[in-house]
């Protein structure tokens, strides 16, 4: 397993760029986010660079970007709830305007809590026009509660790629034709939240949240993005120049090292794939053939 997938000049430049943005504190919370849910369940470090979301039995908390984006690279470092977190879900995701209601587009990381000593499960999902049901679940190759790890989404017209510590764990492809499975027209906000989901999150709802362990805390830092900010009128957010690295040919596919890691993950860490669930989908969804 290569464990360092970004070997091309393009991605080395990206790493340097994102490090520079982090050092300059270009992505402070106040500049980029608003709190959703109970404001008293949000806390920041004295320097404002580390953010904590709390969940108690009465309420949870979250935040969202002030701006919407169509295509780009979106990244966050998270440290997940430690100990017995069964029933608790921490989410880092993108979603179109909530005013669109059930017609929303969405791209999700959901971290499903566990009983102490059991592995965390990462669920990813994609919605288009309010239709989801495209779940994959992975185990992680580390304990996500003891330190920060980076979770990123690469989104362009060709693919959505979910990265964990710059390892591609899921590739969701577009066929380039009109379809009902690949979100690409609606701009999205970036959200994160923590909430109680013990009706489904841990062993299908068999493990309930133990409120004696509350408050449950998820911690965040170093939000980074390089994306196309939505403006009216409708922006194309695609380019044929190096202006948008995430829309260039090199970003349309995995390089050899990325592919090596991706294959290793697929063989060893995937615990559910809707494209292999023939009982749920006797006729597999169109995108599974991609």
> pLDDT tens digits, residue range 220-242?
999 999 999 998 777 788 876 66
Specify the pLDDT at position 9. 41
Burial (CB count within 10 angstroms: exposed 0-12, middle 13-18, buried 19+), residue 92: buried
CA–CA gap between residue 290 and residue 276 (Å, rounded): 13
pTM over 0.85? The answer is yes
E-assigned strand segments in the chain: 33-37, 42-44, 50-55, 61-65, 69-79, 88-96, 106-112, 121-127, 136-139, 149-155, 159-164, 167-173, 188-196, 216-229, 270-273
CB 170 within 8 A of CB 37: no
Residue 265 to residues 39, 49, 54, 125, 251, Cα–Cα distance (Å): 38, 32, 31, 17, 20
Task: Name the nearest CA neighbour of 106 among 159, 181, 2, 205.
Answer: 181
Kindly list the domain boundaries of the chain, sorted by start residue: 9-289
Specify the pLDDT at position 238. 81
Specify the pLDDT at position 87. 95
Specify the pLDDT at position 8. 44
CB 199 within 8 A of CB 205: yes
CA–CA gap between residue 126 and residue 264 (Å, rounded): 22
Specify the pLDDT at position 236. 81
Query: What tokens appear for 113 in the block?
Result: 């809590």
For the annotated catalytic residues, the residue numbers are 106, 110
Give the residue ranges of the chain where pLDDT is below 50. 2-26
Q: What CATH number matches the domain at 9-289, 2.60.40.1180, 2.60.120.260, 2.60.120.200, 3.40.228.10?
A: 2.60.120.200
């Amino acid at each position: 397993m290569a464990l360092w997938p970004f070997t091309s000049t393009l991605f080395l430049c990206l790493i340097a760029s994102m490090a520079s943005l982090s050092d300059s504190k270009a992505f402070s919370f106040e500049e980029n986010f608003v709190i959703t849910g109970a404001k008293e369940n949000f806390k920041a470090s004295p320097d404002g660079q580390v953010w904590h979301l709390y969940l108690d039995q009465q309420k949870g908390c979250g935040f969202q970007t002030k701006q919407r984006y169509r295509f780009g690279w979106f990244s966050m470092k998270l440290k997940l709830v430690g100990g017995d977190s069964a029933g608790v879900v921490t989410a880092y995701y993108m979603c179109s305007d909530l005013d669109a209601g059930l017609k929303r587009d969405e791209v999700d990381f959901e971290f499903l809590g566990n009983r102490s000593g059991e592995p965390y499960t990462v669920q990813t999902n994609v919605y288009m026009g309010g239709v989801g049901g495209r779940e994959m679940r992975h185990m992680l190759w580390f304990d996500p509660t003891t330190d920060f790890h980076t979770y990123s989404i690469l989104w362009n017209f060709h693919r959505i790629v979910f990265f964990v510590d710059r390892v591609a764990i899921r590739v969701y492809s577009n066929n380039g034709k009109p379809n009902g499975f690949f979100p690409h027209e609606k701009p999205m906000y970036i959200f994160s939240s923590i909430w109680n989901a013990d009706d489904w999150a841990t062993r299908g709802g068999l493990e309930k949240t133990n409120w004696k362990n509350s408050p449950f805390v998820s911690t965040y830092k170093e939000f980074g993005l390089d994306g196309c900010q939505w403006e009216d009128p409708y922006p194309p957010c695609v380019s044929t120049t190096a202006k948008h690295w995430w829309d260039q040919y090199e970003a349309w596919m995995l390089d050899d090292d990325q592919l090596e890691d991706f294959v290793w993950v697929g063989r060893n860490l995937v615990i559910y794939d809707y494209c292999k669930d023939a009982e749920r989908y006797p006729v597999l969804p169109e995108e599974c053939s991609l």
